[in-house]
Amino acid sequence: MTQLPDSNYKAPDGPQKYIGKAVKRVEDPRFITGQGHYTDDINVHGQLHAAMLRSPYAHAKIGQIDASAALALKGVHAVLTGQDLADAKVGSIPTGWLLPDLKIPPHPAIAHGEVHYVGDIVAVVIAESRALAEDAVALIEVDLEPLDAVSLGSQALAQGAAEVHPEAPGNVAFNWEIGDAAAADELFKQADHVVSLKIRNHRLVPNAIEPRASLAQYQRSSEEFTLHTTSQNPHIHRLMLAAFVLGIPEHKLRVISPDVGGGFGSKIFQYPEEVIVLFAAKKLNRPVKWAARRSESFVSDMQGRDHESEAQLALSKDGKMLALKVDTIANMGAYLTTFAPAVPTYLYGTLLNGVYKFGAVHAKVTGVFTNTVPVDAYRGAGRPEATYLVERIVSKAASELGMDAAEIRRKNFIQPEDFPYQTPVALVYDSGNYEPALDKALGMLGYQDLLKEQAEGRKNGRYIGIGFSTYVEACGLAPSALVGQLGAQAGQWESAVVRVMPTGKIEVLTGSHSHGQGHETTFAQIAAEEFGIPMEDVVIVHGDTGKMPFGWGTYGSRSAAVGGSALKMALGRIKDKATKIAAHLLEAAPEDIEVADGQFKVKGVPEGGKSFFDVALMAHLAHNLPEGMEPGLEAQYMYDPKNFVYPFGTHIAVVELDADTGHVKMIKYVCVDDCGPLINPLVVEGQVHGGIAQGFGQAILEETVYDEEGNMLTGSFMEYSMPRAEDLPMFEIDHTVTPSPHNPLGVKGIGESGTIASTAAVANAVNDALRAFGHHHVDMPFTPEKVWRAMKGGVQDLGQAADD
């Protein structure tokens, strides 16, 4: 048996036919013609509709629920309450990542006893139509006795704060730390400068444009459930619903995630509504559908970020960074959802080293319960929070020390020869070369000219700001054994099945999932490349637990690095077997066979050969196979990565402040990313564009506001300001290519880089412009009012009372 290719990266021998090409997306025709097939587009015979009665209080005791008026409406089939689920022994929605001493309060799909945030489900109506179900919700009378509530993380930790759950005294979900505190303290003693920063990384609503939806069907004869749902990872849903919540035998539950209109993390998690429709479908023996209204999405989609942090950076007098200390309060919201505990810990604290050579980094994180919508992974998940903190404090240091923001970074970069690089916060960076990305970006920007323009402008009341973000992130989640040690109750490998049919057509089943990322194109490029066959001969199938063996889905920029690698390895197995068949048919040794353009040939013999079709057909006919070979041509590979991958790059934002209104206009955005070899530049750049827009949104526009009683004040697109076309310029994008050494494609994730980098770049740009007004730090989001006040001297640098 020939050796399977090792999963380490090997650069391709020659030019590639598909990989690296800007191939137009295979999935697009259906979307541009309105034939996309999203969950809410699906209607089945006999379907009923669910509507939720959601708590108007952030915290209240549930008393009597009188549903008689609702039930009296013709066409209302049931009203479900928390008691119904408790009676049926429906389990709590589980937390999928554990930390030492983590407090996990019960999380019933329908609140039982108490509600814990505005939006928590109190009761559910199942009726013939959606309108009727919603009408009936309005007729349910619930006795809710308001209890004290708390919405801000730091306030939840204060003495005498309202208690969210009795299971978590003092509202502490966990205390976590990483790094060597003593080493950091020692370096702080040697420091010439200490830069302090107190920042809020405010809360965001993911707002995928497709609201969540779920449709459950139950087949009484076979006791089988089918759940269509808006999911980034249908197998995780099946596992959690089966094993923890509903007790459905796992093989009797099929979860299908059809076209999904964006996720950004928010469609990873196990949600109450999925539990409810499955429960109701069996109870009523009718299909039950629920689709969120946007106003529901705002109070029921898991939210992102929400950190309050204090940090100190120690520097020597020549601007060398010595050590970083960080203390963060992470607001977890009312419950701990699927990945929540991992986000402000292992996806945050480990990234606080950034791209710099620190002697020590120490971080302490307190996870806190509040009466707000739960917080979990949102695009970048922990890494944008870390990057914002590190990049902001580095720029603040430059500002305070009078150094150039690019040069202070350059001076402290980890150097190419240092890789693999062990950081002081557990990670081992795989590969990197940070300076070329910075230089390329500076060149694209015309940095020196822009600095002159900026200086000129300031004299004339024109306020330009230039903001840097030289980021690194860890993605491609992740070595299963490693995440297991860190608390994950999941593996993080990925599956691929390559099924070659007798006619040479290939069906690829992947456990990875596309909700906009373009797997149907990029994965087909990988598969077609292997044999040089037409891309049309490959179909990518995903999002159906009834089809693929298993899979952990898509988040953490893992599709290409983990799912793509699984595919590459499975293709290797196919190639290995197909080569043996071809060699047998050509009466040559397998070592002498090469494959290109869909033809197996004997090396050095241009004539003759066997087509991919010939080989596939013979594999199935099995009339003439090598002695003892099993017929068929199908391979499976479960790829477990050896490490995270570490994409990096330089993002530079240029903004101009309107002195009259405080409006921030982004006039230029330049970035150079390094995600290793690009499978499809079109798709990669699309990911970067969207990521930049989301990060920009946080810096300038978006903010989820709760009042002190836990009422959400920004619950629609009228109050929650989303980035629009006119807010953004054309982006100028380029790449450097530093392959990851440890996966077979050499690729690193790119789905989150834009968001991870851009918030800091934009915030640094605004702060750079505000230096003209004597500020070293103003916190985001930079609303016109805040910027105007800062320009008028009305905003003090936050948290700097001691040293400013």
In the bound state with another protein, the residue whose beta carbon lies nearer, of 687 and 736, is 687
Q: How far is the CB of 491 from another protein (least distance, A)?
A: 27
Full DSSP string of 561-579: IIIIHHHHHHHHHHHHHHH
Interatomic CA distance for residues 194 and 187, integer angstroms: 11
Interatomic CA distance for residues 666 and 464, integer angstroms: 10
Q: Is 665 in the site for another protein (CB under 8 A)?
A: no
Asked whether the beta carbons of 98 and 346 are under 8 A apart, the reply is: no
Q: Is 491 in the site for another protein (CB under 8 A)?
A: no
| Sign of the dihedral through C-alpha 797, 799, 802, 803 | negative
Q: How far is the CB of 709 from another protein (least distance, A)?
A: 7
The single residue among 531, 600, 731, 788 that binds another protein, judged by CB under 8 A, is 731
Helices 753-770 and 383-401 pack at an angle, to 10 degrees, of 30
In the bound state with another protein, the residue whose beta carbon lies nearer, of 581 and 664, is 664
| Sign of the dihedral through C-alpha 22, 473, 375, 510 | positive
The single residue among 27, 120, 537, 656 that binds another protein, judged by CB under 8 A, is 27
- The token pair at 680 is 């499809």
Q: Is 457 in the site for another protein (CB under 8 A)?
A: no
Q: How far is the CB of 524 from another protein (least distance, A)?
A: 16
The single residue among 1, 11, 730, 801 that binds another protein, judged by CB under 8 A, is 730
Q: Is 564 in the site for another protein (CB under 8 A)?
A: no
* Stretch near another protein under the rule CB under 8 A, chosen from 72-80, 271-279, 527-535, 728-736: 728-736
In the bound state with another protein, the residue whose beta carbon lies nearer, of 179 and 333, is 333
Residues in contact with 132: Cβ distance below 8 Å, sequence separation at least 6, in sequence order? 49, 73, 75, 76
The single residue among 254, 320, 663, 689 that binds another protein, judged by CB under 8 A, is 689
The single residue among 431, 517, 545, 554 that binds another protein, judged by CB under 8 A, is 517
Q: Is 381 in the site for another protein (CB under 8 A)?
A: no
Burial class of residue 11, CB neighbours in 10 A (0-12, 13-18, 19+): exposed
Residues in contact with 576: Cβ distance below 8 Å, sequence separation at least 6, in sequence order? 1, 2, 4
The single residue among 157, 181, 722, 737 that binds another protein, judged by CB under 8 A, is 722
The single residue among 2, 10, 29, 626 that binds another protein, judged by CB under 8 A, is 29
The single residue among 723, 746, 749, 781 that binds another protein, judged by CB under 8 A, is 723
* Stretch near another protein under the rule CB under 8 A, chosen from 335-343, 614-622, 627-635, 723-731: 723-731
Per the omega criterion (within 30 degrees of 0), is the bond before 741 cis?
no
Q: How far is the CB of 614 from another protein (least distance, A)?
A: 32
Interatomic CA distance for residues 100 and 604, integer angstroms: 62
Residue 556 identity: G
303 DSSP β-pair partners: 375
In the bound state with another protein, the residue whose beta carbon lies nearer, of 571 and 675, is 675
Burial 442-468 (b: 16+ CB within 10 A, else e): bebbebeebeeebeeeeeeebbbbbbb
Strand order in the sheet with 463-472: 463-472, 648-657, 664-674, 731-735
Residues in contact with 335: Cβ distance below 8 Å, sequence separation at least 6, in sequence order? 93, 105, 107, 116, 374
The single residue among 44, 131, 455, 481 that binds another protein, judged by CB under 8 A, is 131
Q: Is 388 in the site for another protein (CB under 8 A)?
A: no
Collapsing DSSP to helix, strand or coil, 360 comes out as strand
Q: Is 72 in the site for another protein (CB under 8 A)?
A: no
Q: Is 55 in the site for another protein (CB under 8 A)?
A: yes
Q: How far is the CB of 722 from another protein (least distance, A)?
A: 5
Asked whether the beta carbons of 66 and 139 are under 8 A apart, the reply is: no
Q: From its phi and psi, is residue 731 left (phi > 0), alpha (psi between -120 and 50) or beta?
A: beta
Q: Is 364 in the site for another protein (CB under 8 A)?
A: no
In the bound state with another protein, the residue whose beta carbon lies nearer, of 264 and 358, is 264
Q: Is 145 in the site for another protein (CB under 8 A)?
A: no
Q: How far is the CB of 326 from another protein (least distance, A)?
A: 30
Q: Is 75 in the site for another protein (CB under 8 A)?
A: no
Show the site string, 298-337: x = touches another protein by CB under 8 A, - = not: xx--------------------------------------
Scan for tokens 């928590």, then name that residue. Answer: 120
In the bound state with another protein, the residue whose beta carbon lies nearer, of 41 and 223, is 41
- DSSP category for residue 177: E
* Stretch near another protein under the rule CB under 8 A, chosen from 280-288, 398-406, 708-716, 771-779: 708-716
The single residue among 717, 774, 785, 794 that binds another protein, judged by CB under 8 A, is 717
Q: How far is the CB of 690 from another protein (least distance, A)?
A: 5
The single residue among 432, 467, 518, 598 that binds another protein, judged by CB under 8 A, is 518
* Stretch near another protein under the rule CB under 8 A, chosen from 84-92, 255-263, 303-311, 463-471: 255-263
In the bound state with another protein, the residue whose beta carbon lies nearer, of 468 and 731, is 731
Interatomic CA distance for residues 36 and 262, integer angstroms: 13
Q: Which of residues 31-50 bind another protein (CB under 8 A)?
A: 31-36, 38, 40-41, 43
Interatomic CA distance for residues 375 and 30, integer angstroms: 34
Burial class of residue 803, CB neighbours in 10 A (0-12, 13-18, 19+): exposed
In the bound state with another protein, the residue whose beta carbon lies nearer, of 129 and 661, is 129
Provide the H-helix boundaries in 340-422. 383-401, 405-412
Q: Is 76 in the site for another protein (CB under 8 A)?
A: no
Full DSSP string of 60-97: EEEEEEE-HHHHHSTTEEEEEEHHHHHHTTPPPPPPSB
In the bound state with another protein, the residue whose beta carbon lies nearer, of 296 and 529, is 296
The single residue among 693, 701, 756, 780 that binds another protein, judged by CB under 8 A, is 693
The single residue among 20, 686, 741, 784 that binds another protein, judged by CB under 8 A, is 686
User: Number of residues in contact with another protein, rule: CB under 8 A?
Assistant: 77
Scan for tokens 């029921």, then name that residue. Answer: 300
* Stretch near another protein under the rule CB under 8 A, chosen from 282-290, 635-643, 704-712, 773-781: 704-712
In the bound state with another protein, the residue whose beta carbon lies nearer, of 314 and 653, is 653
Show the site string, 177-216: x = touches another protein by CB under 8 A, - = not: ------------------------------xxxxx-----
Taking residue 473's Cβ as centre, other Cβ atoms within 10 Å add up to: 30
The single residue among 114, 120, 259, 274 that binds another protein, judged by CB under 8 A, is 259
Q: Which of residues 263-302 bind another protein (CB under 8 A)?
A: 264, 293-295, 298-299
Q: Which of residues 735-794 bind another protein (CB under 8 A)?
A: 754
The single residue among 728, 734, 773, 783 that binds another protein, judged by CB under 8 A, is 728
Asked whether the beta carbons of 287 and 216 are under 8 A apart, the reply is: yes
Interatomic CA distance for residues 226 and 659, integer angstroms: 57
Helices 565-586 and 612-621 pack at an angle, to 10 degrees, of 80
Asked whether the beta carbons of 509 and 519 are under 8 A apart, the reply is: no
- The token pair at 717 is 């697109």
In the bound state with another protein, the residue whose beta carbon lies nearer, of 31 and 244, is 31
Q: Is 685 in the site for another protein (CB under 8 A)?
A: yes
* Stretch near another protein under the rule CB under 8 A, chosen from 394-402, 637-645, 680-688, 735-743: 680-688
- The token pair at 70 is 């609702």
Interatomic CA distance for residues 111 and 272, integer angstroms: 10
Q: Is 114 in the site for another protein (CB under 8 A)?
A: no
